[in-house]
Every structure is written in structure tokens, then in C-alpha cells.
Amino acid sequence: MDGILLVNKPKDFTSHDVVSVLRGILKTKKVGHTGTLDPDATGLLVIGVNKGTKIMKFLNSDEKAYQASVYLGKTTDTLDNCGEVIKDEPITEEIKDIEAVLKTFVGDYTQTPPMYSAIKYKGKRLYEYARKGIIIDDIPSRTINIKEIRQTSPLRDIDQNYKIFDYYVHASKGIYIRTLSYDIGKKLNVPAYNYSLHRVIAGNFNVKDAFTLDDIRAGKHKIIALSDALSIFPSIMINEKTLSRVLSGMSLYNKYSITDYARVIDKDNNLIAIYRYDKEKDLLLAENVFYTKGDYNGNY
């Protein structure tokens, strides 16, 4: 039971809550996740199980896509449904050019992480300051690349004199959708916050292939093999000589034309190790080796 498990996270669960539940269901402590989702958010959570936790770092930089809703007319201190309203301006005029505004975010987009976030500032999480009422004025901004953003529903009433609409966004890692929804409202000249959030894509993984916690409790789930989870990397099929070097963590000559990372696999597609290309040495160096000489009994 080593690999990646795709979970469709329910609302009101933290990502850590999901990990805790899975440790009980799968009866292993070696469970971790990549790409945290807020408790109010739902959707795709990528989980590493046993040796799968060792490849999480290779999945952490993946692009992600979300389906979100933006509430127009109010802003909260957390920029989502969980916070206190700090600005309230009922919509009295027609809101125009939503699609045109969304298009302005395509490409490099600089945003400041919200105060209620896990970003560290001088050794503490930002939310630790926020809970004490301390506002940090010089939070470092970050530049995100947005590949695609589009409106997916008409503008509609949600409360008297307040509006909402849905949008889809596909962006590089590190984006805060709460901040994006707020910034969309800012460009529309109205207060705004993120009303709902559902992650649909993380790298090569899609929420359509994810399992609910109930599915997993019932055993109706599938764990993605380590090698398949890293199919974005080229593979090196080992022979007996290569296997001995790999299990010892020794370097390999780059006769495979590898330019970044590579999977070392056996005939059954078991992941033996991950190697990376060192341009200066012109060698492949062991990044992670998943077996020792004593515990490997695969087919090469």
C-alpha cells in the first residue's frame, strides 16, 4: 500500500483532519498531503501513503485549477465565508465587463497573501498575528502565473442588493483564490470575498478520479502506484548491473539523455528510485532510493 490516493475533501474538514481520518482507515501513520485546502473549501486533495509520502515534494509544485464563486457587495476579514464583514456596500448599479476584467488577470499576477493564511512572517504564521488583531503591512507579495480564467455562470442575486458569479481558474502553485476573488471585486469597483471554492485539478490529477472518505471507508478506492504518479518523469528500465548501483545510491552515466528527473523502474513498473541530472558532473545522481539490497525482490 505505497502510492498516491486522491481524495475529494468534504467541507468543514481541514487537510490535516483528512490525514488523521485516513491514518485510522488505512491503519498506517505514514500519510501526508500536498496542496493544503481551507476547511471551507472542497475538492481534490493529493495524499501520499507510506512510500508515497516520499514523492510528495515532486508533486508540490504542480499547477492547480479551481471552480470558485465570488460574492459582490461585501468583504470579510478572512476574504471568505468564515470571517467577519468589514465592508458592506449593497450593489446599486449594474456590474458590467466581468469577462473583460477576468482577462486582465491572465499571465503574471502579483498578489499579497491574506492575513488569515499559513504564510510565515518573522517566524510566525500570519493567522497567529491576525487572531491577535495584529495587521502586518509589509507581507511579501508573490507573483503567480494564471494560465486561464473564465466566468462559468451568469451574474445572479444571492441576497437583496448583493450578487454572485462563478469562475474557473487554472494557475501556478501558491495562488490564494480568496485574494483573487477580492482582487476581482476591486477591479469591478465593489467589495468582494470568495464565497465557495472547489479544487478540480492538481498537476496530472483530476477530482473526477478522487474518492470520498466514505468510499475509502468502504474499501472502494484505488491507490496510484508510485511510478504512475510520477509519469511526468522519463523512465529508466534497470538491468542487474544498474540495479546494484541504484540500490547502493551510486551515480549513473547519463546515456539516457535525461535533462531533469527520471524514474528508475523494473519490468513490473515498480519505482526503485528517483534520479536527477547534474549538469556540472554530467551524471545522474540518486535523489530518493526506495529499496535496499535486502528488501527488493522485484522483477528486473
Tell me the catalytic residues.
Answer: 38
- How far, in Å, CA of 264 to CA of 139, rounded? 42
* Chain centre to alpha carbon of residue 146: 15
